[in-house]
Structure 1
Amino acid sequence: MRRLAALLAGLAVLTACGGGSTPEPAAAPVSTAVETEEFNQTDVMFLQMSVPHHRAGLEIVALAKDHRVRDEVKTLAAAIEVTQLSEVDSMTKWLVDWEQPEEAGDDPQLHAGHGGDHSTSPEAIAELAATPAGEFEKAFLNLLIAHQHNAVSIAKLEREGGVNPQAKALADRIFESRTAQIAQMLGYLD
């Protein structure tokens, strides 16, 4: 709301200064997307689940750097890394702005109301890291497919119950991109 108020105040000043008879050039279109700090518990839970989920995904894709995989798999892993680093930055910023903790807590019942814990375990990531070279790519793709499927599930929760426009837009992007990544990786397994 503070940004909207500042934008409106700035527009008022500019309008007041335009008293001459010279026609003004057409203004550039103004974005209708307004950032807001309005949020509900679903928005918070989405971010609190997504941040550690993304960080686990970053651990998974980092393994492609040190293991033998096809170039297209390395490229996909690198793209996922860049995207998820940016998304984590946004999500942690929103949680700070909303004065919410980054993590929801360790209570196993905490996630029961929305399908359980959607994270990839450290043990599964360690097992992947120890996979022999000849089996690594297939194991990598299978784990990453499952991981991204869980990201889609988390995004669905936000799409259905969140109210914050930025968080909902992120959930839409996650839903679409991870669904496409899953299809791409399934193609690599054929």
Structure 2
Amino acid sequence: MRVAAAVTALLFLLVACGTGDSGLVPAPTGPVSTVAETTEHNPIDVMFLQMAVAHHKTGIEIVRLAKDKSVRTDVKTLASAIEVTQLSEVDSMLQWLHDWNQPESPGTEAQLHANHGGDHSTSPEAIATLAATGPGEFERAFLNLLIAHQHNAVEIAKFEREGGVNPQSKALAERIFQSRTGQISQMLGYLD
């Protein structure tokens, strides 16, 4: 139900802001997921969700920086859409972890990333540097940081696609892979 409300809010946001010829990646249509819910999962599903929750929360922090900065309307609209989507995805992931009796995080950063391709997070220092960036340079710095951040989301999604067993988690990984790849392409176009 939360996912349906978030998709409705996202569609409303995109319509209210107007998409015109802005080149925005189109919002998904139809049902969010037709995957039957199950609690079957393996350690990779759990690790994916734990990594993705932390990564999404950082992404939300990044996109919120564009709200009060001087960026073009298309960039502001994309940032708002990313925030809505990732908030909804975090809700779903936390619910699945709860349903599986798993913690939001496995513990220390070393445990979180051991044997899973390294740290896929954006550092607090990089976010602080972006927040302090002047108006003439902010948009380019924002897009570059967000492109790198979303690339890391694609890498995390690949981890789940290759080894997870939970159908909902795998479907989410596929949506993340597709949507973040589209966002990266869109943002690279903004940098031209």
CA-atom RMSD, angstroms?
1.3
Equivalent residue in structure 1 for 2:95, among 93, 96, 120: 93
- Count of matched residue pairs: 160
Post-superposition CA distance 1:74-105 (Å, at most 9, x none): 00000000000000000000000000000121
SS at match of 2:66: helix
Structure 1 Cα separation of the partners of residues 129 and 165 of structure 2: 38
Structure 1 length normalisation: TM-score?
Answer: 0.82
Indicate the residue corresponding to 1:144 in structure 2: 146
Distance 1:123 1:32, change over 3 A: closer
Equivalent residue in structure 1 for 2:126, among 124, 134, 153: 124
Post-superposition CA distance 1:23-66 (Å, at most 9, x none): xxxxxxxx973210000000000000000100000000000001
Indicate the residue corresponding to 1:83 in structure 2: 85
Indicate the residue corresponding to 2:117 in structure 1: 115
Structure 1 Cα separation of the partners of residues 140 and 61 of structure 2: 17
Report which of the two structures shows the higher radius of gyration computed on alpha carbons.
Answer: 1
**Displacement of 1:112 after TM fit?**
3.0
Q: Which amino acid aligns with 2:69?
A: H
**Displacement of 1:106 after TM fit?**
1.3
| Percent of aligned pairs with the same amino acid | 76
SS at match of 2:67: helix
Conserved in 1, the CA contact under 8 Å of 2:35 and 2:171?
no
SS at match of 1:113: coil
* Structure 1: gaps (5+ residues): 1-30
Indicate the residue corresponding to 2:53 in structure 1: 51
Conserved in 1, the CA contact under 8 Å of 2:38 and 2:167?
yes
* Structure 2: gaps (5+ residues): 1-32
Q: Which amino acid aligns with 2:108?
A: D
Post-superposition CA distance 1:100-128 (Å, at most 9, x none): 00012114254131110101111111110
Are 1:104 and 2:103 an aligned pair?
A: no
Structure 2 Cα separation of the partners of residues 33 and 169 of structure 1: 7
Structure 2 Cα separation of the partners of residues 93 and 143 of structure 1: 29
Are 1:180 and 2:182 an aligned pair?
A: yes
Are 1:61 and 2:63 an aligned pair?
A: yes
Post-superposition CA distance 1:126-153 (Å, at most 9, x none): 1100001100000000000000000000
Q: Which structure 1 residue ranges, 4+ long, deviate > 6 Å from structure 2?
A: none
Equivalent residue in structure 2 for 1:156, among 155, 158, 172: 158
